[in-house]
Amino acid sequence: RKEVEQDPGPFNVPEGATVAFNCTYSNSASQSFFWYRQDCRKEPKLLMSVYSSGNEDGRFTAQLNRASQYISLLIRDSKLSDSATYLCVDTTSGTYKYIFGTGTRLKVLA
Amino acid sequence: NAGVTQTPKFRILKIGQSMTLQCTQDMNHNYMYWYRQDPGMGLKLIYYSVGAGITDKGEVPNGYNVSRSTTEDFPLRLELAAPSQTSVYFCASRNGLAGGVADTQYFGPGTRLTVL
């Protein structure tokens, strides 16, 4: 089993829709995660942190479910500019290395 | 404050040629990383460093070498380029000293390498 797994998508949603995707992780001791966003042909950039208590930043909400070992990202009122690949990152499984998922691609359609 | 910078942005190599990809960060970060990303795929860790003079292999180190003589610079050397090394190469850095709290990993803009 991969350390971090994501559905590659693409998730095609209309503007204004709410979309959510999950990321499963294999290390039961992991406690800290990030969501990164990567635009086409660009470098990944931090979107938000994911803590046990959850995290909300505007239209974006991240949750951690430790019992089922997954994290989620919810995007409300999707914008065309949200179209990107979203990478899940486990920050505690590796000693010095963050473990990146392969990403979920989101396309927001006009 | 430029963050993580990489040069060159693009490069085309012939099979068997060698080159060095440059990476510099101005945030005084301890940890630095090199990844490759093939089209439509995830990031694969090539090498990483936890401080000047200390480097270690990632999951795909074959065909590459690194050095870390200063905190700021972490060049990646490709010897005897092969078509399989055609990829986008990202350098990244983070502080790594945040009292146990995960800190942001910053990426450079990438180098697009084609080997023909």
Place of tokens 């995707």: A21
pLDDT of amino acid A58: 96
- Among all residues of chain A, which has the CA nearest to that of B36? A43
Token pair, residue A11, equals: 């998730």
Name the minimum distance, in Å, from the CA of A105 to any CA of chain B: 10
**Cβ-contact B85, B37 below 8 angstroms:** no
Q: Which of A34, A20, A38, A39 is nearest to A78 (CA)?
A: A20
Put simply, whether B41 touches A (Cβ < 8 Å) is yes
Decide if A34 and B108 are in contact by the 8 Å CB cutoff: no
Kind and range of the H or E run holding B110: none
Pairing of the two strands B43-51 and A4-6: unpaired
Please name every residue paired with B75 in a beta bridge, in sequence order, or none if there are none.
none
Decide if B90 and A91 are in contact by the 8 Å CB cutoff: no
**Cβ-contact A23, A62 below 8 angstroms:** no
- On the question of pLDDT at A29 being above 90, the answer is no
pLDDT of amino acid B85: 97
Q: Classify residue A3 as exposed, middle or buried by CB count within 10 Å of its CB (0-12, 13-18, 19+).
A: middle
**Cβ-contact B6, B108 below 8 angstroms:** yes
Map residue B113 onto helix, strand or coil.
strand
Token pair, residue A23, equals: 């990321």
A46: which chain B residues are within 8 Å (Cβ-Cβ)? 104-105
**Cβ-contact B27, B95 below 8 angstroms:** yes
Decide if A45 and B107 are in contact by the 8 Å CB cutoff: yes
**Cβ-contact A108, A78 below 8 angstroms:** yes
pLDDT digits (tens, 9 = 90+) for A45-94: 999 999 888 899 999 999 999 999 999 999 999 999 999 999 999 987 65
- On the question of pLDDT at A40 being above 70, the answer is yes
Decide if A49 and B33 are in contact by the 8 Å CB cutoff: no
A87: which chain B residues are within 8 Å (Cβ-Cβ)? 42-43
Interface test with A, best of B35, B107, B111, B114 (most A CBs within 10 A): B107
Q: Tens place of pLDDT for every residue, chain B, 116 residues?
A: 689 999 999 999 999 999 999 999 999 999 999 999 998 899 999 999 999 999 999 999 999 999 999 999 999 999 999 999 999 999 999 987 666 667 889 999 999 999 99
Decide if B50 and A96 are in contact by the 8 Å CB cutoff: yes
Say which residues have a Cβ less than 8 Å from residue A2's Cβ, sequence separation at least 6.
A26
